[in-house]
Structure 1
Amino acid sequence: MGDGNLMDQAARAAIVAAVSSGDTLGALRRAQDMLEGEGHYDGYLALVKALSESGDPVLAVKCFAALREILPANAEVARGYGAALLQLGNIAYRGGEIAQARGFYRQALRADAHSVKAWTNLGQAERFLGRPAEAEACFRKAVSLVPDEGPAHFNLATLLLEEERWQDGFAEFEWRSNLSRIPKILAGFPLWNAQAPQGASVALWNDQGLGDAMLFLRYLPRLRSRGMRIVLFLPPVLTDLAATAPGVDAIAEIGQPIPQVDYQLPLASLPHLLGEADPADAWTGPYLFAASAPAGRVTYRRSIGLVWAAGSDSPNGRVRSIPLEGLAPLATLPDIDWIALQMGPARAEIAGSPWAGRLRDPSPGLANFADTAAVVSGLDLVISVDTSVAHLAGAMGKPVWILLPRPCDWKWGREGSASVWYPTASLFRQDGSRDWDSVVSAVDAALRGLPAQ
């Protein structure tokens, strides 16, 4: 018995070494030798483990395909094969080959029909390819397999919200993983609920992007009408702007002490916990305002603010951004005073582009969103990709044209040029080609069609 175990260990080590060196056939031969010589599956199971840890999904798929012919009923082999196909699907998805990714995810599910990750990722691919019913079925299948699978719930939430199924969508949105990022200073306070007594103080914090914070501030008057005292707990870049929102009693910056409060509540949970999910019902007019007079207003020409890039560290920031060079046709339009509202490294694109000398850049004087609001208040129009500045203009009630990739974030829906969130917004969407040329052409035509100042 002892000698046999030593032989097994040596054979398993040889299999792992063969996989690591890329000798697939050698690994298979050694595994098969163990089966024939010892009459058990240890060799193949060692191969499965080695393949799963190899970091080479193409190699793993080849090996697992061969293994399935030898061990068609082995559940561990089936799971390993499915996991390897899932990895290939993820690689294809990240590379923008969505249809190919969908094919790999389907193969993964044929190998292992209980893979929650494969069901969830297939749903994402179906949604990207414009098949929302199929995507919803995938997400619901994943949730049925593992009821507390957060990513499946969250992806289902964004799909439902995209379709304006507000009540169910915001209920599912409570599965978002960012809820675990509650500021430490608030972690000991209970979550606000509708049974909280009048006069209670609620600390509202943001677990989403900066633009999302602006979006959900519209719900503050609804919470205030329940008799709550509202304390905002936000990053410094937002506090001065948020102070202009109706219903705010106090503001504290993240990292600073907060006033005494009774409850805490993430801003994005307001629609669900208030039971007032429809954003159209929460819009009573502009709710963010410039606290100071506009700077540098040019009165004799149309004044337009421009943002072309999302933050590089934001989700899908690259997908949501347009190279400034790609907006060059707009730079030649007459009688427009262009103002850059772009922040971050993308500002460097101005120099050396067709926009040099055409695009004024006040960003050195913009320390926070209150400063940006002062500039926006003096503009006739803001043209922006999906960024916080688009939300700022919409919340201020300023005309804003938002340039969107396909698919886009759930807040902008799937089709149409109007926004349920911001009545003054017009949406310009990529067409089926998923490039920006059609968007820029549409914006160019719309600008040419505006009445003279």
Structure 2
Amino acid sequence: MPSLDLILQGSEWLARGRASEALHCAEEALRQEPHDADALFLLGAAHYRDGDLAAAEARLKQAIQANGKVAVFHSTLGNVYQDRGALPEAVAAYRRAIRLKPDFAEAHNDLGTAFFAQGDPVRAAESYRRATELRPDHAVAYANLGAVYRKLGMPREARHALQRELVLRLRNFFRLKKRHRSLAELAHEELRLGNPGLALRIGRRALEQDANNPRVVALLAAALRQEGSLEEAIGCAQRAVELRPADARSREQLGSLLLKAGSAQSALPHLEECVRLQPRSPQALLALAEAHMALGDREQASQLAQRSSALEPKDATLWVRLGELLSKQGLAAQAELAFRRAIELDPAAPAAWIRLAGLLRLGGRLQEAKTCAEQAVALDDESSAALIALGLALREQGRTSAAVARFEQALRLEPQRAQALQQIGEILHYENKIEEAERRFRDGLKSRPDSIALLVDLAMVLGDQMRYAEAFACLEKALAHDPRAAPALAAKGILQDLTGREAEAESLLRSALQAAPQDADIGHSLASCRLRHWHFDDGWKGFELRRHKENFIGRYRKFPFVEWQGEPLDGKSILVYPEQGLGDEIMYASCIPELVARARHVAVECDHKLGALFARSFPGCTVTARLRTMANDWVNHLEPRPDYQVPMGSLPGHFRRRVEDFPQHGGYLAPDGRKVAAWKRRLDAIGPGPKVGLSWQGGVGHTGRARRSLTLEQLLPLLRLDGVHFVSLQYTDVDGEIRDLAARHGITVHHWQGAIDVYDETAALVCALDRVVTVCTALVHLTGALGRPAIVMVPFGSDWRYGAQGERMLWYPSVRLIRQGAIGDWPPVIESVRRLLQG
């Protein structure tokens, strides 16, 4: 007899309480297929029914090892643990089952029993209530709920629950029971138990008997979706719609599958027909809203979402989906209400707590986010999603060590979880531990060689090391798995742009955006590409998408003023606030004079290092220099009170829309004259000859440090110029390198740390020098904004701020760019700089 028939026969014997016959069937099936997870489970369940707990535990663990994604395997192991009195292990097993299948009523009921045995009737009641919501005909859950209510001193609730139990038992007693269930019914039962693999095996057998049974075809589509076979699932769902075109569930199933596959346009007519057939179905309305959202129709999506929520569904899962949709629409307050409603309906489900934690984190409410994530972990300390949510909150708080510990914990629980490994790698990447980040990504790919996310992350790390051939190989592998994978297309586009292939880069980024139209990172990357090539009109428009990126610093700035969109500022006051690094603050500040000319008053917030410099340079403005923190109440004391607010990075979109809009200024930042004079005296003491400021290292790992940086050894052709005195303006720790240069070559590079530590002193020193030679770093912006001459050594595939070609830097007329002609080819650049200095 084939193994499937043996498993079905054994399951039937087990249902009748004949454990020995079930054991025989399981053993025979295992003789045919020794590693069949379903046969192992049947053997374990039969041992459990026979009272052999040790044998049951061993076999169930083997079944889970063979296939750990089946909910009923874990819940049955939980029953074994509970019968053994191992309650913590039982709770953990039930939670694993619920994590795999959140609507698994039996697991919720059994979890309630474990909580009750642990002396926690409150959580037991929550679990029993959830079981009855999921299965209103669950008589045992009602009986258990009644018992718990009695324990909690709630007689009225206990009476209602027990009356419901009695009704259900009588109904079941008088209901005609079938001895033999159909294959379709058996397959449906396996789906309910969280075993889509066995459901698929049974469903295929049923289809052999009746190829046009719409129920079986739809069931196969559901099982295939859970098994990850999306294309085959869509085929079955399409067949189900052909067989029953007026069936709303079939329409919704097909529409949801097409939506999941990224075919929102194809999904739309099926979901519209589903809503026409079931106009008061919250699920149907929400699915249609999700389709409209995927197509970029936010208004229609919002209307449908409102209709769905107005029906007040009692399904917590639906409220979570609604919250996710509202969050994508940028409706944070409404999304928060939806997640909190889900928590009200099912406070013991970690999913809503996790989503709420993410929403609060993105809104800058980090402590609240951390609290919600901690609650999710308390509900299920083996949930890798909850641990990742907590790690993300900790990371945003700057507690990277604690965050990594949570990500590592998630990774131990679920080694295949790419997100945890990604977060660890990204933290290492941002902390400039490039080699270690690369190692972690490669380690992850050993167990998940087809992970597109990990391949993309590894490619970007390799790109930051200028190992472009290896990077492109990673991306080609990712795209071989999914040619429409937006992250891989975008990463390839970014690297193509860095390697000088503008047309290919833009085409790839547009393809990526077409595949993921709501992805702000991709849209921002495309905008940066456009800006690099001086396409300012659509470039600045797309640049606004930076504000929707998850790592956008400015998203925490919650000021009580209207966002300025270019309205007339006559008689109005406006607050300008920073959002990026020092160099960007200086560059965007070039627009402040134009804002001053239009507004009654301008208030400027800036980094604490720039306070003295900005206050001196913009005397008509109220300049507030401060460390960036979550505390924004300081704006309430501004006088006059601002009418508008605008992030600095949005100013060029109003004032730099054409090449002609960039002013030919002689410097818009004003140094401290006394400090400049003091530095000139100090420089004169060095001796006669030109004094040249020098910076040779730029950025950190994830901002292209390898691409942008040089060593003093590489700069020897400059440093050996007769009569030229070089002064270090390098902000990183370079004392050792300067000493080595002196010892090895007898060349002195002067370095005064005090000039580096205080930015106002740096500005004064720059003005005292004859010129500056630098790589791409914040010093470029400072020197250019002061109107001082600078020569910038620009790598091939430079950042958008430096443009794509030519010697001119639009932002700073005093800056001259010397570009690499090929990737990593510095000698010709250094020779050009040497000639300029010599001349």
What is the TM-score normalised by the length of structure 2?
Answer: 0.45
Other-structure match for 1:411: 801
3-state SS of 1:351 partner = helix
Question: CA distance change for structure 1 residues 204 and 114 in 2, over 3 Å: closer, same or farther?
Answer: same
Contact 2:692 2:727 in 1 (8 A): yes
Question: CA distance change for structure 1 residues 341 and 178 in 2, over 3 Å: closer, same or farther?
Answer: farther
List structure 1 segments (4+ residues) > 4 angstroms apart after TM superposition: 8-12, 33-42, 44-55, 80-92, 183-186
1:214 aligns with 2:580: no
Other-structure match for 2:738: 350
Question: CA distance change for structure 1 residues 138 and 300 in 2, over 3 Å: closer, same or farther?
Answer: same
Contact 2:754 2:761 in 1 (8 A): no
Aligned residue among 594, 597, 607 for 1:235 = 607
Aligned residue among 385, 389, 395 for 2:779 = 389
3-state SS of 1:352 partner = helix
Deviation at 1:95, TM superposition (A): 5.1
Q: Distance in 2 between matches of 1:133 and 1:239?
A: 42
Question: CA distance change for structure 1 residues 81 and 12 in 2, over 3 Å: closer, same or farther?
Answer: farther
Question: CA distance change for structure 1 residues 314 and 196 in 2, over 3 Å: closer, same or farther?
Answer: farther
- Supply the AA of the counterpart residue of 1:404: V
Aligned residue among 370, 387, 401 for 2:791 = 401
Other-structure match for 1:7: 41
Q: Distance in 2 between matches of 1:425 and 1:130?
A: 22
Aligned residue among 660, 663, 674 for 1:283 = 663
Deviation at 1:45, TM superposition (A): 4.4
Other-structure match for 2:496: 126
Which has the higher Rg, Structure 1 or Structure 2?
2
Q: Distance in 1 between matches of 2:607 and 2:555?
A: 11
1:28-107 to structure 2, matched below 5 A, reads: 45=227, 56-58=444-446, 60-61=448-449, 86=456, 89-90=459-460, 92-93=462-463, 96-107=466-477
Choose 158-167 or 199-208, whichever is displaced more: 199-208
The structure showing larger relative contact order (alpha-carbon pairs under 8 Å, at least 6 residues apart) is 1
Contact 2:445 2:454 in 1 (8 A): yes
Contact 1:88 1:101 in 2 (8 A): yes
1:163-312 to structure 2, matched below 5 A, reads: 163-176=533-546, 177=549, 180-182=552-554, 186-195=558-567, 197-246=569-618, 248-255=620-627, 257-258=634-635, 259=638, 260-272=641-653, 274=654, 276-278=656-658, 280-285=660-665, 286-293=667-674, 294=676, 295=679, 296-298=682-684, 300-312=688-700
Q: Distance in 2 between matches of 1:88 and 1:262?
A: 46
Contact 1:224 1:247 in 2 (8 A): no
3-state SS of 1:203 partner = strand
- Supply the AA of the counterpart residue of 1:302: P
Contact 2:534 2:659 in 1 (8 A): no
Contact 1:245 1:288 in 2 (8 A): yes
Q: Distance in 2 between matches of 1:95 and 1:379?
A: 33
3-state SS of 1:251 partner = strand
Q: Which has the higher strand share?
A: 1
Other-structure match for 1:113: 483
3-state SS of 2:741 partner = coil
1:437 aligns with 2:827: yes
3-state SS of 1:174 partner = helix
1:334 aligns with 2:704: no
Q: Distance in 2 between matches of 1:95 and 1:290?
A: 37
3-state SS of 1:175 partner = helix
Deviation sequence 1:373-418 (CA, Å, 0-9, x none): 2111121110011111111111121110011222211111122222
Deviation at 1:340, TM superposition (A): 1.5
- Supply the AA of the counterpart residue of 1:208: Q
Q: Distance in 2 between matches of 1:262 and 1:133?
A: 42
Deviation at 1:311, TM superposition (A): 4.6
Q: Distance in 2 between matches of 1:381 and 1:327?
A: 16
- Supply the AA of the counterpart residue of 1:264: Q
Query: What percent identity do the matched residue pairs reach?
Result: 25
Contact 1:179 1:207 in 2 (8 A): no
Deviation at 1:57, TM superposition (A): 2.2
Q: Distance in 1 between matches of 2:557 and 2:474?
A: 45
Deviation at 1:185, TM superposition (A): 6.4
Deviation at 1:360, TM superposition (A): 1.8
Deviation at 1:347, TM superposition (A): 4.1
Q: Distance in 2 between matches of 1:98 and 1:314?
A: 15
Contact 1:280 1:421 in 2 (8 A): no
- Work out the number of aligned pairs and report it: 415
- Supply the AA of the counterpart residue of 1:262: D
Question: CA distance change for structure 1 residues 347 and 392 in 2, over 3 Å: closer, same or farther?
Answer: farther
Question: CA distance change for structure 1 residues 397 and 240 in 2, over 3 Å: closer, same or farther?
Answer: same
Deviation at 1:117, TM superposition (A): 0.8
Choose 347-356 or 86-95, whichever is displaced more: 86-95
Question: CA distance change for structure 1 residues 37 and 88 in 2, over 3 Å: closer, same or farther?
Answer: farther
Structure 1: gaps of 5 or more residues? 18-32, 62-79
3-state SS of 1:133 partner = helix
